[in-house]
């Protein structure tokens, strides 16, 4: 069983979409039973909230369900999860400052080496086009992440 935690800032836009897309792609390949997947944010100000409506919208348009509720990363996550997959370098830095073992942290876009993006931009303060870009980047990267387990 592989245990993966997707991390962004508030756990309402990027990381819940990464969690949902990863699970969706796992189900397509009949691999979901090999993984435990969750998402969390480095900040806790949205704890308990559902994913941002715009993330839900882009996911739904693509047949992906988002079911998680926002929560903040806790130190126990560093022991429980094998891999903490961050949306950007700020998330990586915050985990390191919390004493997360560096060998468990990865940047999601490292699984999409052909992309022009080295991180998933936070779409929260932008328009619909930012959420579309977020979806495309995360989708490409989660496919690469799944392939890395083959």
**DSSP assignment of 84-113:** EEESSHHHHHHHHHTT--GGGEEEGGGG-T
Q: Is the pLDDT of residue 125 over 80?
A: yes
Q: Are 72 and 11 in contact (CB under 8 A)?
A: yes
* Euclidean distance between CA atoms 141 and 143, whole angstroms: 5
Average pLDDT over residues 86-94: 97
Q: Which tokens hold the place of 16?
A: 């819940």
Average pLDDT over residues 56-60: 97
**Does the active-site annotation cover 139?**
no
Domain ranges of the chain: 2-147
Query: What 8-state DSSP symbol labels residue 37?
Result: E
Element (H, E) at 6: strand 2-8
- Measuring CA to CA, which residue among 77, 74, 57, 76 is closest to residue 12? 57
What mean pLDDT is reported for the chain?
96
**Does the active-site annotation cover 100?**
no
- Measuring CA to CA, which residue among 145, 121, 141 is closest to residue 133? 121
What percent of the chain shows pLDDT beyond 90? Answer: 96
Q: Which tokens hold the place of 7?
A: 């991390």
Average pLDDT over residues 15-25: 98
- Measuring CA to CA, which residue among 91, 87, 85, 96 is closest to residue 146? 85
Q: Is the pLDDT of residue 150 over 80?
A: no
Catalytic residue among 52, 77, 88, 122: 122
Q: Is the pLDDT of residue 104 over 90?
A: yes
Catalytic residue among 14, 77, 86, 100: 14
**Does the active-site annotation cover 122?**
yes
Architecture of the 2-147 domain: 3-Layer(aba) Sandwich (3.40)
- Measuring CA to CA, which residue among 1, 7, 8 is closest to residue 32? 1
* Euclidean distance between CA atoms 59 and 67, whole angstroms: 11
Residue 112: CB atoms within 10 A of its CB come to 21
């Amino acid at each position: 069983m592989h245990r993966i935690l997707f991390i962004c800032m508030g756990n309402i836009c990027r990381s819940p979409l990464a969690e949902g897309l990863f699970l969706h792609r796992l189900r397509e390949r009949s691999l979901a039973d090999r993984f435990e997947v969750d998402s969390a944010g480095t900040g806790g100000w949205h704890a308990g909230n559902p994913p941002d409506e715009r993330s839900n919208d882009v996911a739904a348009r693509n047949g992906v369900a988002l079911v998680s509720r926002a929560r903040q990363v806790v130190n126990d996550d560093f022991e429980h999860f094998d891999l903490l997959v961050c949306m950007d370098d700020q998330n990586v830095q915050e985990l390191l400052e919390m004493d997360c073992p560096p060998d468990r942290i990865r940047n999601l876009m490292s699984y999409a080496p052909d992309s022009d993006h080295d991180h998933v931009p936070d779409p929260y303060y932008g328009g619909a086009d930012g959420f579309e870009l977020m979806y495309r980047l995360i989708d490409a990267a989660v496919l690469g992440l799944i392939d890395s387990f083959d």
